[in-house]
């Protein structure tokens, strides 16, 4: 599966469009990470625990999108967009969407 | 005797936040300076590897590969700068502590994208999203942690 966030794939031709595909996941942070981040919050800088948490979650959402596209018979997804939103206290939604296409 | 004890207690209650702020000021400042130094040296190493928000490619070169690339970082202010930012809220104006925090997070996220594909030629259609991911200390006040996500399409030309 070829993924890009451009409208076309440089060097390849799109031969068929399958429409929107998307994947999402809502993750809450756990208490252990929260305590560690609380200490880190004192001196500032990168909160590595949270970076990893969101990265994992984003990969999961992307994999769901890829599965959906594969089910349609697509071999590429173009114009991929990501969005992150805090939906509740301590929980964030990661949403990925794009257009499933077939490239020749 | 009891008065002495009370005095110590009062001192402790008032001195502790000041001590924490002082500690945060020193350590947080050191961490930030070290981070900026590392960002500058790595940016210099990637000087010929641009990441651009447009989608234009060199017309005379053939694209070998184009792939999605993402990189992110979650950062927060130190305790001292958070207090400064809270004071800034009273008078308004530029909040420099957040400016430098976001500057460093964005540059780091872009560098992390490039480090995933060090052999590529450029990153096109680069986008940066900043989102608040909730207050890390459980309180409603303050900006808490900020996530910066950089995405783009990494392009390698055929040699």
Tens digits of per-residue pLDDT, B112-134?
999 999 999 999 999 999 988 76
Say yes or no for a CB contact (<8 Å) between A42 and B125: no
Q: What is the pLDDT of residue B118?
A: 93
Interface test with B, best of A28, A36, A45 (most B CBs within 10 A): A45
8 Å CB contact between A62 and A39? no
Does the structure show a pLDDT above 70 at B141? no
From chain A, pick out residues whose CB is under 8 angstroms from the CB of B23.
Answer: 42-43
Q: Which residue among A7, A10, A89 places its CB closest to the CB of B134?
A: A89
Say yes or no for a CB contact (<8 Å) between A47 and B76: yes
Tell me the mean pLDDT in the region B39-65: 91
The yes or no reply on domain A2-103 and CATH 3.30.110.70 is: yes
Q: What is the pLDDT of residue B134?
A: 62
Between A44 and B137, the more confident residue is: A44
CA-nearest of A27, A30, A99, A89 to A60 is A27
Say yes or no for a CB contact (<8 Å) between B81 and A5: no
From chain B, pick out residues whose CB is under 8 angstroms from the CB of A11.
Answer: 62-66
Does the structure show a pLDDT above 80 at A31? no
- Measure the CA–CA gap between B109 and B75, rounded to whole angstroms: 11
Shortest Cα distance, chain B CAs vs residue A15, angstroms: 17
The token pair at A75 is: 């071999």
8 Å CB contact between B70 and B149? yes
Residues 6+ apart with CB under 8 A from A77: A1, A2, A3, A4, A21, A65, A66, A69, A98, A99, A100, A101
CATH code of the region B2-157: 3.30.110.70
Q: Which residue has the tokens 């002495």?
A: B4
Mean pLDDT of chain A: 89
């Amino acid at each position: 599966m070829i993924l890009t966030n451009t409208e076309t794939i440089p060097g390849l031709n799109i031969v068929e469009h399958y429409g929107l595909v998307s994947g999402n996941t809502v993750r809450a942070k756990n208490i252990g990470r929260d305590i560690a981040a609380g200490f880190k919050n004192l001196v500032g800088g990168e909160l590595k625990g949270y970076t990893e948490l969101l990265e994992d979650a984003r990969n999961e959402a992307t994999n769901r999108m890829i599965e959906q596209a594969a089910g349609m018979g697509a071999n590429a997804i173009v114009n991929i967009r990501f969005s992150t939103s805090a939906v509740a206290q301590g929980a964030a939604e990661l949403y990925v969407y794009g257009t499933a296409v077939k490239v020749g | 005797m009891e008065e002495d004890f009370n005095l110590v207690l009062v001192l402790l209650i008032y001195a502790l936040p000041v001590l924490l702020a002082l500690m945060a000021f020193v350590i947080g400042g050191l961490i930030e300076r070290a981070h900026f130094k590392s960002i500058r040296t790595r940016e210099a190493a990637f000087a010929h590897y641009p990441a651009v928000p447009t989608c234009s490619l060199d017309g005379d070169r053939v694209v070998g590969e184009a792939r999605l690339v993402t990189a992110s970082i979650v950062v927060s202010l130190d305790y001292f700068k958070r207090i400064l930012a809270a004071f800034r809220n009273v008078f308004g104006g530029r909040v420099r502590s957040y400016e430098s925090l976001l500057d460093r997070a964005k540059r780091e996220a872009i560098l992390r994208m490039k480090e995933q594909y060090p052999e590529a030629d450029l990153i096109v259609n680069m986008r940066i999203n900043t989102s608040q991911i909730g207050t890390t200390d459980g309180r409603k006040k303050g900006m808490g942690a900020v996530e910066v996500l950089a995405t783009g399409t990494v392009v390698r030309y055929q040699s």
